[in-house]
Amino acid sequence: MKHILLSILTAATFSSCENMGPSTQKGAVIGGLGGAAVGGIIGSQSGRGLEGALIGGAVGAAGGAAIGNSKDRQRRYY
Q: How many residues does the chain have?
A: 78
Average pLDDT over residues 39-62: 89
Domain membership flag for residue 20: no
Domain membership flag for residue 44: yes
Give me the number of domains the chain comprises: 1
Domain membership flag for residue 78: yes
Give the domain range for residue 66: 25-78
pLDDT, tens digit, 9 for 90 and up, residues 1-33: 666 766 666 666 555 454 455 788 888 888 998
Can you say whether the dihedral through the CA atoms of 35, 59, 2, 46 is positive or negative? positive
Tell me the pLDDT band of 70, cut-offs 50, 70 and 90: confident
Domain membership flag for residue 77: yes
Give CA–CA dist 73/78, Å, rounded. Answer: 10
Domain membership flag for residue 72: yes
Domain membership flag for residue 4: no
